[in-house]
Amino acid sequence: MNNESEKGTGKSEAQSRPAEDRGNGWTFENLEIWQDAIALAAHVYQRFQGCRDYEFRGQIRSASVSVSSNIAEGYERDSNAELIRFLFIAKGSCGEVRSQSHLAHHVKLLDEAAAKELVGESQRLSRRIQKFIDVRRQKFS
């Protein structure tokens, strides 16, 4: 079951807190967007492992790690509003990874194919996070 859809959970608006999800055995680790964020960060770490521009490498790694971290932190908070706020921060971090991937290509740290791959991965994740935000707003706000 994909927790992101929230379909068939029978939750009322009074049960909108992510903590209620945890009471049903759900954790942020069950969220596909969190799993995808972990995959994005691992991909970034792999792509920039040999990068000698340590400042740039640290910045793009930090942005990629921020995506999953903010999803997790928001999910562990006590309200739907806080979850949504942290999801927007995660979405912003996807934008950082995307922007830095473009820059990496322009300064020859990544070839075009590798840059397009990271840009596409972060765009897809950003869209999925937005869809999860929309579901949380519609069902629980």
Distances (CA, A) of 111 to 50, 95, 118: 14, 19, 11
Predicted confidence at residue 20, as pLDDT, reads 52
Contact yes or no for 25/68 (Cβ under 8 A) = no
**pLDDT cut 90: percent of the chain above it:** 79
Predicted confidence at residue 25, as pLDDT, reads 81
Predicted confidence at residue 101, as pLDDT, reads 98
Confidence band of 2 (pLDDT split at 50, 70, 90): very low
Residue 30: pLDDT above 60?
Answer: yes
Higher pLDDT, 119 or 5: 119
Distances (CA, A) of 2 to 34, 57, 76, 128: 12, 33, 18, 12
Residue 48: pLDDT above 50?
Answer: yes
Mean pLDDT of the chain: 88
* 27-140 topology per CATH: de novo design (two linked rop proteins) (1.20.1440)
Model pLDDT for residues 69-120, shown as the tens digit of each residue = 999 999 999 999 999 999 999 999 999 999 999 999 999 999 999 999 999 9
Predicted confidence at residue 10, as pLDDT, reads 39
Residue 11: pLDDT above 50?
Answer: no
How far apart are alpha carbons 19 and 16 in whole angstroms?
8
Would you list the domain boundaries of the chain? Answer: 27-140
